[in-house]
Amino acid sequence: MDCHLDPEELEFWESQKRCGEEIDLKLARDLPDDTPDFILKMMGDFEEDAAEFCFSGAEGLVLDAGCGNGNLLLRALKNKKIPAKPEKRALQVIGMDFSANMLCRAALRAKGNDRTGFLQGSVTDLPFQDQSFDRVISSGVLTCLPNTGAAARALQEFYRVLKPEGVLVVDFFSRTSHYTLIRKHLFRETIKPPEYVSPSEFNRALEDAGFSVLACRGFDFKPCQGYLFLNPWRRVIDPGYFQEKLSRYLERKVLPRQPGLNLLGYRIYVKCIKK
């Protein structure tokens, strides 16, 4: 096993045995089987928006590094809203993950789709030749690596396998968001990299790896997680439900007109180009 990987993280994903098409979102988001439908709907909306940001304008050969059970790449391939240039080259997506279990699930879900392929591997030691890909997407991966050295190594590997002026899309949890600060100071939770970094720290890490930032997309602007009432009355009396709806309104209606506010989000996706 690659020394940069977390054995406990791998063991967790390899042990996931739930099956059935209806379980895929719950499995990708590590949600219990009894998660209410309205929460699944909000999670699904997030993944649709994230897939659109990650894959918009993509062409040629794309690597989804850490694809899990394939949720993001399959949503992107089905999403007719993702704009593309008329002259773009045919899109092919390679899904890669360190968990054989999750990779098999992704391949099974994509069966019959001739635009996908799957390969097991580690983001800190990619099994591909230099300058192989037009775009690399890695969602929810850097935040799960055991230390900052592993995250830096992954960025170096992304740079290596990208073609000149290739595009990288990665995400992080902001250490300076209001939600993170509440968790740190009120609940005394440990807030440390690589799971949590500030936007300036993440931007610096990308620049050190040879990338130049093009755009960012912030998600999750609510001050706390969770719901008090998982029943029809939630729409009226649950502040958790209200703040979730408010956050979605900001993400979809306000941020397109005020892009500078993206950096105030809890989870931030960054699109950059190989210099």
The confidence score (pLDDT) of residue 235 equals 63
Query: Residues 114-133: what's their mean pLDDT?
Result: 96
Segments in 56-93 forming alpha helices (H): 71-78
Can you tell me the distance from the alpha carbon of 222 to that of 265, in angstroms, rounded to the nearest whole number?
A: 9
Nearest of 77, 127, 73 to residue 98 by alpha carbon: 127
Per the domain annotation, does 247 fall within a domain? no
3-state helix, strand, coil in the chain (%, to 5): 40, 20, 40
Per the domain annotation, does 78 fall within a domain? yes
Q: Is the pLDDT of residue 1 over 50?
A: no
Strand-pairing partners, residue 92, are 61
Per the domain annotation, does 239 fall within a domain? no
Say what the pTM is: 0.87
37 vs 24, residue with greater confidence: 37
Four-residue CA torsion sign, 90, 95, 58, 22: positive
Q: Is the pLDDT of residue 12 over 70?
A: no
Contact (Cβ atoms closer than 8 angstroms) between residue 58 and residue 51: no
Indicate the DSSP class of residue 260.
G
The confidence score (pLDDT) of residue 237 equals 67
> What is the domain count for the chain?
1
Per the domain annotation, does 234 fall within a domain? no
- Read off the pLDDT of residues 156-194 as tens digits, 9 standing for 90 and up: 999 999 999 999 999 999 999 988 998 888 889 899 999
- Read off the pLDDT of residues 56-81 as tens digits, 9 standing for 90 and up: 999 999 999 999 989 999 999 987 66
Q: Is the pLDDT of residue 85 over 70?
A: no
Per the domain annotation, does 253 fall within a domain? no
The confidence score (pLDDT) of residue 244 equals 82
At position 40, the amino acid (one-letter code) is L
Domain that holds residue 12: 7-221+259-274
The CATH number of the domain holding residue 11 is 3.40.50.150
Per the domain annotation, does 20 fall within a domain? yes
Per the domain annotation, does 160 fall within a domain? yes
